[in-house]
Structure 1
Amino acid sequence: MAELILYTNPMSRGRIARWMLEEVGQPYAVQYLGYGPEFPMSMKSPDYLAINPMGKVPALTHGDAVVTEGAAICAYLADAFPDAGLKPAPGTVAAAAYYRWLFYAAGPIEAAITDRSLGVTVTPEKARMVGYGSYDAVIDAIEAAVTGRPFIAGDGFTAADVYFGSQIGFGLQFGSMPERPGLRRYWEGLSQRPAYKRAAELDDAAIPKRD
């Protein structure tokens, strides 16, 4: 079996890929990369740039295959290891929701949160020029999607919950999303999963200690 290697930093979006790997349940290795000198290998080192020319994490190698971008890694692993049951059956209502919200999280949610964090203001006149429309519209949409539902796609947990849910978890943790009951209940349910807890413990233990 081809080896899975995750290139990540314990204080990055790579935590999402680690969670997904724990859900898959296959053996994998981890190469931690530093923003600076905190780890032996830097994200800007030639060896890593040969894997991801963007010089960012996460990246996943699976034999000769290279996958970057958190949502793509989640989708790839769900496809590569179908026995884990992390993807709905093709052509179903659940599959439609799976793709819809996985890509929505990687596109409009990510862009809306980033713009807001950077102080970028989109005026109502310009809202149709950006994929997310407005920050408030994004928050309303995801709250409506998860209210009264434990999972985002059908009746079972999927890779879409890993990525979509992580965006909500980070948003609540760092204050980039408002505290709304629907968001909080959805995230609290996901964060009780054993695979999430294992991944978080492993990454927390790898964070360099400061003197």
Structure 2
Amino acid sequence: MPLPHATFGFALLCFGLAVTPGPNMIYLASRSISQGATAGLTSLAGTAMGFVFYSLCAAFGVTALLLTVPIAYDVLRFCGALYLAYLAWQALKPGGRSPFAVRELPKDSARRLIGMGFMTNLLNPKAALLYLSLLPQFIDTAAGHVLAQSLLLCAIQICISMLVNSTVILIAGSIAGFLSTRPTWITLQRWLMGSVLAGLAVHMAAQARTR
């Protein structure tokens, strides 16, 4: 099993990424605003399926990679740092768009909502790079049971993402109304999250391999 501090660090990172606007949050918030919270939660079920798909692929792939190619850790570490730096720029760059800006979406059936949620997450580079670049850095190969560690961390990420996005869906309408009349709050949120992500990127790039 991963060490407690590594598990906590991974959970904190997952929370930071979950609250950072991305394709999933934009789609789920827009769906909830346009068609209601039930439609948003139905779409979230499809998003969860996408995470399960990614987690299984990453767990088995990362397990084989770390056990056979030790240098892969450093490659993935720098890729993860670059990815976090990219997310920081997306949050800080001028003209960033709020995920709670109202977008009109057509009403769809439950089956289509699940399918669209799944595809939105499957085509989401944020989800793919999270598992390929960030997950391996919290796995302690010396502790053994690399596959079990991978699956546990994946489960933690999915739970955190579902909790954050469920909250977003349920209060999307209220947030959209609040932010529409208070643009300063949007700017503050972007700068705060961008600064946190930039700090994580620098820390990840600078840390030495201790595993």
Question: Which structure shows the higher strand fraction?
Answer: 1
TM-score w.r.t. structure 2 length?
A: 0.26
Question: Which structure shows the higher helix fraction?
Answer: 2
Of structures 1 and 2, the one with the larger relative CO (CA 8 A, separation 6+) is 2
